[in-house]
Each structure stands twice: as structure tokens, then as C-alpha cells.
Amino acid sequence: MSERTSYVPGTPCWVDLGTPDIEASAQFYGSLFGWSVEEGENAGQTGGYRQATLRGKPVAGVMPLMQEGQPPAWSTYVSVADADATAAKVREAGGSALAEPMDVMDLGRMAIFADPTGAVFGIWQPGSFIGAEIVNEHGALTWNELNTRDTAGSKDFYAAVFGWTYENMEVEGVGTYTGLKVGENSVGGMLDISGRVPDEVPPMWLTYFAVEDTDATVAKLKELGGSVMMEPMDIVAGRFAVVSDPFGAVFAVIKPSPMEEGSS
């Protein structure tokens, strides 16, 4: 399903980018994915936050960095029915609040947390805004993946917060991969990055954008000043690569295999 009008609570529903240069980032992602990233009518009220759109529908957010030393990064937001109740669950499970629940005009209510390992994520209680209205097509969100060195602890934490259940699978070239589920629906993944990435790389939520051609997208990204962290490779889910934009914000691109397209 490409166009969305709602999200079941516990489902990642939105991603946004913190960047030191909104105009340059808008040009980069606009060229890479075909996004339009225009200044919104309420820019003064939202601290310069912008929505990136495809076909006039929101697919991601772009905002300036909020504090000194904040690294450019993509953030994942999970849809919830009650932001304040979820915040209480985060604290009870050992997480910490980086931004307490707050209203964003009539759009919804949000908060930002760190899980016990330090991986940062957000929550979104929808008001008039549900999150991404286009998913699973070129330039749109298609997957969210927790990269962690503590899968057991992470499973306990996120089950307590979102009620997720898990399905482990053995993937060639990857090893054990954990699927995140809400009921019978797959809503994301979890990967143990121990020994896969340098120790100084912190746990993080990795955003995947769907593309029509992974190799062509990576070539385009290089031309635009981006960098490649992991060259294109084939896995069961499709052909993917891990990359970063010119400011160092890391994300992944994937051409989903036919059986995976539209699965989230």
C-alpha cells in the first residue's frame, strides 16, 4: 500500500532529518528522491521545520539542528495513541526523555526519547497529521531498523513501550535478523551490529527509503556529494546500500524484492 491515511499504534509513521543547512539538504534530497521541500506557512511557529513532499503529500521532515554539537541525523517516530502514557512506559522500562511530550499546534503531540542503550527515537500521537502519507515507493519511507548491540535488552524495552512481538529469522549474509511486529503486521527490524560496525558508532534507528534502482541511486548520491558506508548488495528483502548525505546523516536505500514490495 503506497498511500496511507492512518497508522496502527506501535507502527513507525514518520522520519525527519536534523541538518545544519536546510537549503542544501533540500537541494540534495530533492535531486536524489524528487522531493519538494518548501518553507511552510507556520515556519515561525515550528522553528523552521519543513515537510518534504511527493505528489503534494508529506513523506518526511527536515529541520535545523536544535543545539550546539548535535549531529546531523535521521530520526524515526512511532505512532501512539497516548504520548503521555507512552512516556511513562519509557521511563518505567529504563529509557530517558530528551524532549518531554509537547503539542505541535493541532498536528499532534510528540516526544523524543533514548532507549537504555542510547538509541534515539520519537513518538507521535496524531492530531490532524498522521505522518507519512506515501510509503513504499521511490523516495518514500519503506523500513525502520534498530541497529543495536543489545538485542535481548532492546526486545524487553520496546515490548514494554509499544507491545511489539518479535520474529527471528536467519538471513544469508546477515545472520540473525529480528522482525518487529504489531499483531500480525511487520513494522520494522532489529539488527545486532556487534562486530559489524566500528565500536564508536552508536546504536541508532536506521531509516530505509525505497528506490527504483539502488545502484543508480547510489551513483547519483555520489555525484551530489553524499558518501557510501556500505556498497549495494543483495539480500532477501532486496538490493540495498547504506549511505550518508553531504553532512553525514546516515540512511539506507533499497530496491525491494517483488515479494517485499508493499509489505509494510
Do 182 and 222 share a structural domain? yes
Average of per-residue pLDDT across 160-172: 93
Which of 126, 150, 180 is at the close of a domain? Answer: 126
Q: Phi, psi (5° rounding) for residue 117?
A: -90, -10
Taking 60 as the threshold, does the pLDDT of residue 1 lie above it? no
Do 76 and 30 share a structural domain? yes
Of 112-116, 130-134, 150-154, 255-259, where does mean pLDDT reach its minimum? Answer: 255-259
Q: Distance between CA atoms of 96 and 4, rounded to whole angstroms?
A: 30
Specify the number of domains making up the chain.
Answer: 2
Confidence class for position 206, pLDDT limits 50, 70, 90 = very high
Q: Which three cell numbers stand for residue 168?
A: 527471528
Q: Give residue 43's pLDDT.
A: 62
Taking 50 as the threshold, does the pLDDT of residue 50 lie above it? yes
Q: Which three cell numbers stand for residue 49?
A: 521545520
Do 174 and 119 share a structural domain? no
Domain of residue 247, residue span: 141-256
Do 150 and 102 share a structural domain? no
Q: Give residue 236's pLDDT.
A: 86
Confidence class for position 57, pLDDT limits 50, 70, 90 = very high
Taking 90 as the threshold, does the pLDDT of residue 258 lie above it? no
Do 87 and 55 share a structural domain? yes
CATH number of the domain where residue 72 is located: 3.10.180.10
Do 115 and 161 share a structural domain? no
Average of per-residue pLDDT across 39-49: 74
Helices 214-223 and 22-33 pack at an angle, to 10 degrees, of 150
Length in residues, the chain:
264
Q: Give residue 7's pLDDT.
A: 98
Do 249 and 176 share a structural domain? yes
Confidence class for position 82, pLDDT limits 50, 70, 90 = very high
Which of 101, 126, 151 is at the close of a domain? Answer: 126
Confidence class for position 262, pLDDT limits 50, 70, 90 = very low
Do 120 and 38 share a structural domain? yes
Average of per-residue pLDDT across 78-94: 98
Average of per-residue pLDDT across 109-114: 98
Taking 90 as the threshold, does the pLDDT of residue 41 lie above it? no
**β partners of residue 191:** 147, 177
Do 202 and 172 share a structural domain? yes
Amino acid sitting at position 50: R
Average of per-residue pLDDT across 245-263: 83
Confidence class for position 264, pLDDT limits 50, 70, 90 = very low
2-32 residue pLDDT tens: 899 999 999 999 999 999 999 999 999 999 9
For 249: left if phi > 0, alpha if psi spans -120 to 50, otherwise beta; the answer is beta
Q: Give residue 263's pLDDT.
A: 41
Computed over every residue of the chain, the mean pLDDT equals: 94
Do 118 and 156 share a structural domain? no
pTM over 0.85: yes
Q: Does any domain span residue 262?
A: no
**β partners of residue 235:** 238
Q: What stretch of H or E contains 219? A: helix 214-223
Q: Distance between CA atoms of 250 and 227, rounded to whole angstroms?
A: 9
Taking 80 as the threshold, does the pLDDT of residue 260 lie above it? no
Q: What stretch of H or E contains 222? A: helix 214-223
